[in-house]
Amino acid sequence: MVLGGISLYGQENVNRKIEALMGKMTLEEKIGQLTLFTSGWDQTGPTLHDGYKEDVKSGRCGNLFNAHTAAYNRELQRIAIEETRLGIPLLFGYDVIHGYKTIFPIPLAEACSWDMALAEKSAHLAAKEAAAGGLHWTFNPMVDIARDPRWGRIAEGTGEDTWLGSQIAVAKVKGYQGNDLSDPTTLLACVKHFAAYGAPQAGRDYHTVDMSERVLREVYLPPYKAAIDAGVGTVMTSFNELDGVPATGNDFLMEQILRKEWGFEGFVVTDYTSINEMVPHGFSKDEKQAGEQALNAGVDMDMQGAVYQSHLAQLVKENKVKITDIDQAVFRILKMKYALGLFDDPYRYSNEEREKNTLFSKEMMDHAREAGRKSIVLLKNESIEGRPLLPLAKSIQKIALIGPLADNQEDLLGTWHAAGDASKVVTLKQALTDALPNATITYSQGCSTETDNRDGFGPAMDAAKAADVVIMAIGENYRQSGEAASRSELGLPGAQQALLEAIYQTGKPVIVVLMAGRPLTISWMHDHVPAIVNTWHLGTMAGPAIADVLTGAYNPSGKLVITFPRNVGQIPIYYNMKNTGRPFDAKNKYTSKYLDVDNTPLYPFGYGLSYTRFKYSNLKLSKSTIGFNEDLKVTITISNDGEYTGEETAQLYIRDLVGSVTRPVKELKAFQKVVLQPGESKTISFYLRSDDLRFYTRSMEYKAEAGDFKVFVGGDSADVLEADFELK
């Protein structure tokens, strides 16, 4: 395993140094290296642990999280180096999920760019800024596939597709870890939450996960494996149980899959007190047994639970855990500290000069704006008086800017915005004022994102009536998605829907800028509002990114990575579903459907409009039959039939019509981006081979089966051209 350019287990000289150090360590000092506590600077879970500094001094805690800035971490590191018996450097971790100080779009938003270089650059810049802030380790990428937008943490992931999620996982690991972990502009990464945390029953966070091994291996595991194959140095266990066994005590996951099948050589850290939580799970009779089960399942580091600290020594005495397993965990962790260069220079990440020059640099802010622009998905853009409502006409003089997210800073940072500085966020109001100096922009908040208070409706309606066009900035605040933020209804929170309908009644053309951490159920909005721009939560430069799209400075190119349901009753609804034995047929009552809503989503996976129009034609296959490991060339022509230059993401899906187990109606296998001038056409090629057609067969072998297939190519998962081929 090559981690950040350093082979973890290839450096014999490093191994000898570690073994020599371990030879001096007491059992308590070894257990200290397996212990991770939060500093008092931030709380990201149910408990706080005072006295962490004393634990550092005594060698009972070798790792901290939620501590940052060059100066603060330098002082903590000094304590570890100068005031402990062996001077083993501390490891500093933090949730750098989509930026450290400069905040980029939430991961679900950035995934809609379908731009791997962009995703990698966001991670690289986040690492550069965080490492300048004294940090060594980020608890990211989160690669949990999710098909249920009731689950608030869908905001942190890459949506519903396994193949796309795997591509993004690789980009993030490369971006964070670079080629050399000892480089003070890179971070040790942590793929999480292992495993299948994104499939909680009823979309309720921390709820039970139960699925077949086939679905686990085919849908949920691949992105974690992609991160490990990319060299990620650490893995975080998930809170959920899987098949009745909590992930944090699950040796099938931690030993069989992670170590034996995937050859992972880094270390495994628990999620926040997830060892302790095996007691309420009903898997451990007490925390001591939980500690025994976690260590024996292959979990190396205890985040915040103090279970290892409290019980491992006794468990060794009782021969319930082996000292060799503790030594192996210590070795893995010390190896990572060596890889980070901490034994060479423990203060290498605490350079206040570099910190001052890196945070909020132009490079960071420019990227935040670019990433924001590319994450925006145009959902609807109807014409008014013969002209599409967007981009805003130059002739517009009076704009009413209405809604609780129009002049808002912190909410635009989105969930998990770490040490993001809300005061640095450029609001939509500010950005539109800067972009449209000749327009009169009248702002009226109208209502909040939470209460049902409608006192602001009057002034908002007055502003709308006096304007040529209304821009409504509505959606969720940053607390309404993310961890412990599941929602059972997915409409606009608070009185926003009522405000939208009241503004609609004024008869003025309305453009909705929808800011949320998840797909919302917006059927009324879709039926009544002429233009809908889905911007998610875009971070520090949200305002300018949105203004660039509204003014036409940037032609939106985002494509959904998560299905928008018509209502909550349809959930789970995702593009790669099975066909069933009674696929919907409008002419036949006895087929799979609802009495009260269509089977189709409001907006499908892969969907996103442009200010121009892209047309697909001439889908051609090089052959109608291919053998195993033989290339099938797929070509298609895409033309720009509109008035704007635009970027299109052409998507290729397949369908295996008959298998030893049933197969989804579509599976994303490739995409290509093309930029076309108005009137320009391009013919692009994709290549498929039998390896792209593999799945877990009836006998659980991962392989392709001969038979008939379809290929689909289009601008989303629903509007496609198709062709047939056979694998022989």
Q: Which residues bind ligand GLC (CB under 6 A)?
A: 44-45, 95, 139, 192, 271-272, 483
Structure tokens at 27: 């059992």
Burial of 479 (0-12, 13-18, 19+ CB in 10 A): middle
Q: Which helix (H) or strand (E) is 366 found in, with range?
A: helix 362-375
Return d(Cα 96, Cα 93) in angstroms, integer. 9
3 state SS of 295: helix
Return d(Cα 33, Cα 60) in angstroms, integer. 7
8 and 339 Cβ atoms separated by less than 8 Å: yes
Return d(Cα 669, Cα 692) in angstroms, integer. 7
Phi-psi region at 87: left, alpha or beta (left = phi > 0; alpha = psi -120 to 50): left
Structure tokens at 95: 């949730």
Residue 227 CB, nearest approach to ligand GLC (Å)? 14
Residue 200 CB, nearest approach to ligand GLC (Å)? 12
Give, as one character, the DSSP assignment of residue 692.
Answer: G
Query: Which residue number places its CB atom closest to ligand GLC?
Result: 44
CB-nearer residue toward ligand GLC: 31 or 143:
143
CB-nearer residue toward ligand GLC: 483 or 548:
483
3 state SS of 363: helix
CB-nearer residue toward ligand GLC: 64 or 401:
64
Residue 539 CB, nearest approach to ligand GLC (Å)? 18
Return d(Cα 637, Cα 616) in angstroms, integer. 6
Residue 354 CB, nearest approach to ligand GLC (Å)? 25
> Could you write out the three-class secondary structure of 588-619?
CCCCCCCCCCCCCCCECCCCCECCCCEEEEEE
Residue 139 CB, nearest approach to ligand GLC (Å)? 3
CB-nearer residue toward ligand GLC: 159 or 305:
305
Give, as one character, the DSSP assignment of residue 231.
Answer: T
CB-nearer residue toward ligand GLC: 37 or 564:
37
271 is known as an active-site residue: yes
CB-nearer residue toward ligand GLC: 15 or 44:
44
Residue 45 CB, nearest approach to ligand GLC (Å)? 4
Residue 487 CB, nearest approach to ligand GLC (Å)? 18
CB-nearer residue toward ligand GLC: 55 or 716:
55
Degrees to nearest 5, angle at CA 406 with 405 and 407: 100
Residue type, 565: P
Give, as one character, the DSSP assignment of residue 664.
Answer: B
Structure tokens at 315: 């468990």
Catalytic residue among 271, 300, 656, 716: 271
> Could you write out the three-class secondary structure of 74-138?
HHHHHHHHHHCCCCCCCEEEECCCCECCCECCCHHHHHCCCCHHHHHHHHHHHHHHHHHCCCCEE
In this structure, the strands spanning 387-388 and 625-626 are unpaired
CB-nearer residue toward ligand GLC: 272 or 686:
272
Contacts of 33 (CB under 8 A, 6+ apart): 25, 62, 63, 88, 329, 330, 333, 334
Residue 479 CB, nearest approach to ligand GLC (Å)? 15
Question: Which are the catalytic amino acids?
Answer: 271
